[in-house]
Amino acid sequence: MSHRISLQPGNHSFEADDDQTVLEAALAAGLLLPHGCRDGACGACKGRVLEGEVEHGEHSPGALSEAERAEGLALFCCAKPLGDVMVQARSVTRAGDIQVKKLPCRVQKLERLAEDVMRIELKLPASENFAFRAGQYIDILLADGQRRSFSIANAPHDARHLELHVRRIDGGRFTGHVFETMMEKEILRFEGPLGSFFLREDSARPIVLVAGGTGFAPIKGIVEHAIRLGLQRPITLYWGARRRDGLYLDALARAWEEVLPGLRYVPVLSDEAWAGRGGLVHQAVLEDFADLSAHEVYVCGAPAMVDAARASFHSERGLPEDAFFADAFTFAQPSAR
């Protein structure tokens, strides 16, 4: 049986099959709602159920609390309509014509960028046309159906290969394999491109980019795309890490200032004294910008950093809801392991 979903803002309306989440049905109807992990972990897809009922599905309590559920909020990546519903997302745009595909790829090159960061270059099948937007991510599909998400670190004009920056997780199944046993020429499968974290090219707002650790990966894709476009919008790029070796492509980021005259790069270290900026990366943004109401902000990295940035940029600096884009690097839910 199918159910009708009415979606605000924009008065959209579409059908959802019984087993489809609100997000899946919206994407299938060509509508893009904010989302990240698609796994009930990051909270990016949170919205309001205005009429009707949904089954909330499995999600992390941190992404949606009991109190929020009681208030009528839901995570659209896990919520399935139980009848006709009316829902409200933070924003709704047309998804465009980029196709999500499941493809094989070959590990072309492995390069250690830091002790705990590996750059993987994936070569795509020559016969496939793989299109993506700067900043999106892919899911690596493991043999038993589990998935692991990684952001694309290169720009779309160079889509014959994909670059990933993989941070090693203690006890991590996939990232452990990457650092210990992965060999060049290994064949992987992936699904993508995924996510709503990508450069909005139709906007004229000045851009603030905030990366934490390997959150630099999609930001690199965005900056390389901006260079390719010759983007004139001012860009301030903050990259936060604990210590200096965490800024694993610092020289590259410094070189961007020469190539893109509107770009300013601010590296920030939290755990090492140095001549540059210290403290938490979102704090550095708060120190530099008294008002973000006319800006567009892209934040990527650890969930706690993304949450702190979202809350403080909105409440203390007037950043509009629809001008904040983020990917939080959550882990796959235990049920997906």
Ligand X SMILES: Cc1cc2nc3c(=O)[nH]c(=O)nc-3n(C[C@H](O)[C@H](O)[C@H](O)COP(=O)(O)OP(=O)(O)OC[C@H]3O[C@@H](n4cnc5c(N)ncnc54)[C@H](O)[C@@H]3O)c2cc1C
Applying CB under 6 A, which residues contact ligand FES?
35-45, 63, 75, 77
What type of residue sits at position 297?
A: V
How far from each other are the two terminal CA atoms of the chain, in whole angstroms?
Answer: 30
Segment lying near ligand X (by CB under 6 A), choices 144-152, 228-236, 261-269, 286-294: 144-152
**Which of the residues 29 through 58 are near ligand X (CB under 6 A)?**
36-37
CB of 149 to ligand X, least distance (A): 4
CA distance linking residue 253 with residue 333, whole number of Å: 33
Which residue's CB is nearer to ligand X, number 112 or number 287? 112
Q: Which does 214 bind (CB under 5 to 8 A by kind): ligand X, ligand FES, none?
A: ligand X
CB of 83 vs ligand X, minimal distance in Å: 31
Q: How far apart are CA 337 and CA 335, in angstroms?
A: 6
Using CB distances below 5 to 8 A depending on partner kind, what does residue 174 bind out of ligand FES, ligand X, none?
Answer: ligand X
Task: Give yes or no for a contact between 8 and 88, defined as CB atoms under 8 angstroms apart.
Answer: yes
User: Using the 8-state DSSP alphabet, how is residue 21 labeled?
Assistant: -
173 binds ligand X (CB under 6 A): yes
Encoded amino acid at 160, one letter: R
Question: Distance between CA 32 and CA 310 in Å, rounded?
Answer: 20
Task: For the CB of residue 220, give the shortest distance to ligand X in the complex, in Å.
Answer: 10
- CB-nearer residue toward ligand X: 136 or 283: 136
Helix (H) or strand (E) holding 310: helix 303-317
Based on the shown chain and the rule CB under 6 A, indicate whether residue 166 belongs to the binding site for ligand X.
yes
Measuring CA to CA, which residue among 1, 6, 59 is closest to residue 29?
Answer: 6
**Residue 137 or residue 256: which is nearer to ligand X going by CB?**
137
Nearer Cβ to ligand FES, position 47 or 246? Answer: 47
Closest CA to 71 of 46, 92, 90, 91: 46
Q: Which helix (H) or strand (E) holds 257?
A: helix 250-259
| Cβ 188 to ligand X shortest distance, Å | 13
- Which residue of this chain has its Cβ atom nearest to ligand X in the complex? 172
Q: Rounded to whole angstroms, how far apart are CA atoms 76 and 62?
A: 15
Using CB under 6 A as the binding rule, whether residue 224 contacts ligand X is answered as: no
List all residues 6 or more positions away from 47 whose beta carbon is below 8 Å from its beta carbon: 22, 33, 73, 74, 76, 87, 88, 89, 90
Strands 296-301 and 324-328: parallel
Residue, CB closest to ligand FES: 77
Is residue 48 helix, strand or coil?
A: strand
What is the size of the binding site for ligand X (CB under 6 A)?
26
Instruction: Considering the complex, state which of residue 214 and residue 283 has its C-beta at the smaller distance from ligand X.
Output: 214
Which of ligand X, ligand FES, none interacts with 44 (beta carbon under 5 to 8 A by kind)? ligand FES
Look at residue 38 and give the partner it binds from ligand X, ligand FES, none, a contact being a CB closer than 5 to 8 Å depending on partner kind: ligand FES
175 binds, among ligand FES, ligand X, none (CB under 5 to 8 A by kind): ligand X
Binding residues vs ligand X (CB under 6 A): 36-37, 137, 148-151, 165-167, 169, 171-176, 195, 214, 217, 327, 329-332, 337
